[in-house]
Amino acid sequence: MPRLALGALATLPLLAACTTSTSITRPAASDVVATWTGTAFTLPEFETEYARQNGGREAASDDSLTRMQDFLRRYVDFRLKVKEAERLGYANRPEIRSELDQYLQDYATPYLMDNRVLDPLVREVYQRQGTMIDASHILISVPRNAPPADTLAARQRLVAVLDSIDAGMSFGEAARKFSNDPSAQRPTGPGSEGRLGYFTSGDMVEEFEEAAYATPAGQRSPILRTQYGYHVLFVHDKMPVPPQVDVAHIMIVPQDGTPEAKAHARAVVDSLQQRIAAGEDFGALAQQYSMDQGSAPRGGDLGYMDYKALPIEPFRTVAWGMTTPGQVSDVVETSFGFHLIKFIGKKDRPSFDEVAPQLKNTAARLPRAQRMRAAMLRDLGQQYHARVDTMAIGNAITSTPQDSLLVLFVQHRLPDATLDQVVGFVGDSTYTLRQFAGDAVLRGIPNIPGPGDRHVVNLTQRYMDEAILRYAARDLPNRDPEFARLMEDFRDGTLLFKLMEDSVWTKAQTDTLTLRARYDARITGMPLLPERTRLIVISSDKAEELHAVRQKLDAGTPLAEVLASLPSRTQADTVAMAGPTGSPLDAALNIPDGSVLGPIAYRGQTTGAVVVRSGIEPARMKTFEEAMPELISEYQRELENTLVNRLRTRYDARLYPDRLVRAFR
């Protein structure tokens, strides 16, 4: 969790709920760091809350005593404000209860998906992606929906191939002769003789990946079925994923396949090697001579690469064997030509926390995630005794013609007695056919082939899945302490926000009479607006429009006339600058009044501006309207201080900050 700015404790809606002491055993006085009515806040509780807000115990333990004492003061003030909101009945307000219920529904379903589906899947993918597998396979194709006889025949063909391997045929030869993977017949390259090269989790279909990770190196997998047909794998090697490597290279390609052309290319690369050894710049030579058009403009830099993404040997072996930045290899020959490789650096595999958000998005789209979600729904349905009374549905609609049933269902044109039939159950909740029909109207009629009663059953089951999730969401705080704490955080934050809104923020913003009186009472002490340069900034993302504006101004057209005739996509703003700001407008501070600047770059690459310097605004007092933000902020601070002092008295709050010297010790 990122560190929370301590100054924001009074306003953030999601704050740690205090785990107040409710034990009958009275804590030792030296362990109590604060008290208020009904609560003794102990040192261990402080450590828990402080660590939650400051990146964990290890990070929190390094903080200063002053910082911890400031947190204690702000935290106690936070608890007092929540307690006051409870006393005033905020928790029972219908709008707040509705907001809390909506948050529960909105947050619980993603929480369930994350904890029971995505988090385990993401951790599995990350763990597997730490290992690369080099494997070959043999495929006997058969469609997933093939007739049983065809499916059996395909499997028997693969069994016969395995018999040949067991009799002495090499796996590679068998793949070349019998595999239906077209790449198996290639003389070289990926897929040749079934050799797929290195891959990790997410590169292959799920069944294939499961078999690959379950099969030890040097062994053959059992027969497996995927959407493509029947496979068998032979795992050649498993190895930890090497670090990413950043290298640059110079590539010289022979003009043709003749020995003379090859010798000439080698001579060129040898001469380049000698020039680099003599001190010439590798990047400059790569730009001039390398025949890799993609990397040559970057001085040959290929950027950081994954090991499995570069299957070219011996280039890969050499690149990953280098260790010293700036090191240049000997000449390396590959199927592409001759290379000189310069090592730039290595980058270790990212940590789980660094890649988890990206992996979660990937995992959510995997078919197994949908199957895990369905399994979760089945488990929750069993847990809450969910069921759909299909017999009641059938009895309710049995007299309706099949070709018109679905339309009548979604249009609520069935009899009321039919629509009011209870046909769904989750825990102690029941659901009628009318509720299902209302859901169907919102979603529209699904394009599912089949008779109308099947449509209705599909619609009711879909509704029940979501009803199960809603029911589980309401029950989640009772079953998951972590989620219960999150909901308590949100509840306390909501109560705090409403109290501050009513007692401080709204009052300070709307009490215009008090603000005006404060302004009048100290008008002579109001901050001055300094002398500022006034600029008219005419901006557009159309270069031709800006050039037209500049031409008019240069021709002597009055500024007011130019502004009145601006095209719709061109806008004019008045900017007052007290001094340089680091923006492109700074250049206009050094030109005479009435002068024109531009077009210049302004607000990004696609927007430009013409700037007219139109004089100086003298220093002056702020008007009431200009001073309003400062007046409101000052008034809010005073109102909050008054509120806090009143609450400290009302709830007899006492702090013992000196006892924090023992925190995290």
Mean pLDDT for 184-190 is 86
Question: Are the C-beta atoms of 121 and 369 separated by less than 8 Å?
Answer: yes
Nearest to 353 by CA among 195, 159, 123, 148: 123
The pLDDT of residue 50 is above 50:
yes
Mean pLDDT for 614-618 is 88
The pLDDT of residue 17 is above 50:
no
- pLDDT attached to residue 1: 32
The pLDDT of residue 152 is above 60:
yes
The tokens for 472 are 């589980």
pLDDT in tens, 454-502: 556 666 777 888 889 889 988 999 888 989 999 999 999 999 999 999 9
The pLDDT of residue 608 is above 50:
yes
Q: pLDDT category, 79, cuts 50, 70, 90?
A: very high
Percent of the chain clearing pLDDT 90 (strictly above): 47
Mean pLDDT for 594-601 is 87
131-240 and 529-621 have identical folds: yes
The tokens for 582 are 């680091």
Percent of the chain clearing pLDDT 70 (strictly above): 88
Domain covering 244-347, topology:
Chitinase A; domain 3 (3.10.50)
pTM value? 0.60
Q: pLDDT category, 604, cuts 50, 70, 90?
A: low
- pLDDT attached to residue 399: 54
pLDDT in tens, 224-265: 999 999 999 999 999 998 999 999 999 999 998 899 999 999
Q: Which one-letter amino acid corresponds to residue 209?
A: E
Question: Are the C-beta atoms of 492 and 433 separated by less than 8 Å?
Answer: no
Mean pLDDT for 390-414 is 58
Nearest to 118 by CA among 362, 368, 355, 360: 360
Q: Provide the CATH number for the domain formed by 131-240 in this structure.
A: 3.10.50.40
Q: What is the DSSP letter of 326?
A: T
Mean pLDDT for 634-655 is 94
Q: pLDDT category, 400, cuts 50, 70, 90?
A: low
**How far is 56 from 48, CA to CA, in rounded Å?**
9
Query: Which range has the worst mean pLDDT, 69-78, 167-176, 207-216, 302-311?
Result: 302-311
Question: C-alpha angle with apex 343: 266 to 359, nearest 5 degrees?
Answer: 120
- pLDDT attached to residue 74: 95
- pLDDT attached to residue 15: 33
Q: Provide the CATH number for the domain formed by 529-621 in this structure.
A: 3.10.50.40
Q: How do the domains of the chain map onto residue ranges?
A: 131-240, 244-347, 384-479, 529-621
DSSP alpha helices (H): ranges in 505-657?
506-510, 512-521, 543-554, 559-564, 624-650
36 SS3 class: strand
